[in-house]
């Protein structure tokens, strides 16, 4: 699939912010201020806010996502949430975010199991990959991301993953929550690496159909640099996604990209 045919996506990761009392109002405000044609919008609040955000977004064309799922369906896993528990609450889920890898020691093999659970539950996955600063400075960024992809996608059929709507988010770990972001060229080069890695792993031309987002201190001020790159299909937004003005600016810029792609493809 050429870039003009891939969806343009802005996904909000609220992380451990908001409460059920204020999440709904925030979601409604963001939804009302980001009604732009051609842009898929997703809001991923904390688990305790899923119901409030779902209800607040009724009638809006905004999807709700979870920030994580457990690798088992049920059992003695205190404090965890499984994919089947999200039925009626979310239709997307983030998997393998660098903060989960860092704070919960999630491995690629574990994330692969979570991916299987997401697919079985009908959840659209956003799979996160990205390198540490030391790895980039050592010239190992591409090999690190390729290894993460190999571990997370091992055993999963490419056609099934694309049918389920798999999205990959490239999030350089050194840019998350630091105010420092990769350049548009850096992100585009890694998106190319991601698709080349998958082509070499047996995906063939299907790799071109995979949406790749950028994540890492993305804001309304810098998102244009990323969306100007044909290899980048949107953003996974952290802290800025809690600010309606920022979200309005990012989705408006994404709509420009979506319109250009529609014109190119039509």
97 catalytic, yes or no? yes
Query: At residue 116, what are phi and psi to the nearest 5 degrees?
Result: -60, -40
Domains of the chain from N-terminus onward: 3-265 (3.20.20.70)
pLDDT at 4 over 90: no
Percent of the chain with pLDDT over 90: 91
Annotated catalytic residue, options 106, 135, 171, 246: 171
Within 10 Å of residue 245's Cβ, how many Cβ atoms? 11
How many whole angstroms separate alpha carbon 226 and alpha carbon 155? 31
**DSSP H helices in the chain:** 20-33, 50-56, 98-104, 108-120, 133-137, 141-153, 158-163, 184-198, 223-227, 244-265
φ/ψ bin of 262: left (φ > 0), alpha (ψ from -120 to 50), beta (otherwise): alpha
pLDDT level of residue 11 (50, 70, 90 thresholds): very high
Q: Is 18:253 a contact under the CB 8 Å cutoff?
A: no
Position 180 pLDDT exceeds 90: no
Catalytic residue (one of 70, 71, 97, 229) = 97
Distance between CA atoms of residues 86 and 231, nearest Å: 32
Query: What is the average pLDDT score of the chain?
Result: 95
Predicted local confidence at residue 176, as pLDDT: 75
Could you report the per-residue pLDDT of 106-132, keeping only the tens digit for each? Answer: 999 999 999 999 999 999 999 999 999
**pTM score over 0.85:** yes
In the residue annotation, 225 being an active-site residue is answered as no
Q: How far apart are CA 115 and CA 94, in angstroms?
A: 10
């Amino acid at each position: 699939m050429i870039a003009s045919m891939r969806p343009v996506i802005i996904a909000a990761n609220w992380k451990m912010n908001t409460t059920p009392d204020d999440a709904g109002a925030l979601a409604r405000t963001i939804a009302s201020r980001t009604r732009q044609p051609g842009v898929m919008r997703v809001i991923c609040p904390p688990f305790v806010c899923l119901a409030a955000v779902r209800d607040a977004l009724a009638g809006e064309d905004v999807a709700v996502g979870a920030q994580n799922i457990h690798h088992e369906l049920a059992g003695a896993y205190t404090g965890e949430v499984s994919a089947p528990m999200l039925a009626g609450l979310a239709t997307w889920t983030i998997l393998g975010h660098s903060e989960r890898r860092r704070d919960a020691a999630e491995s690629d093999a574990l994330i692969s199991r979570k991916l299987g659970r997401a697919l079985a539950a009908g959840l659209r996955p956003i799979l996160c990959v990205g390198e540490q600063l030391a790895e980039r400075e050592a010239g190992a960024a591409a090999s690190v991301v390729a290894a993460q992809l190999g571990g997370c996608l091992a055993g999963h059929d490419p056609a099934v993953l694309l049918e389920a709507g798999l999205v990959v988010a490239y999030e350089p770990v050194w840019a998350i929550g630091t105010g420092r972001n990769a350049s548009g060229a850096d992100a585009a080069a890694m998106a190319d690496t991601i698709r080349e890695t998958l082509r070499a792993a047996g995906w063939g031309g299907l790799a071109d159909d995979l949406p790749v987002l950028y994540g890492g201190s993305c804001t309304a001020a810098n998102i244009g640099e990323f969306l100007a790159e044909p290899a980048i299909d949107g953003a996974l937004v952290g802290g800025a996604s809690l600010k309606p003005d920022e979200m309005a600016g990012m989705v408006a810029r994404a709509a420009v990209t979506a319109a250009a792609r529609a014109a190119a493809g039509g």
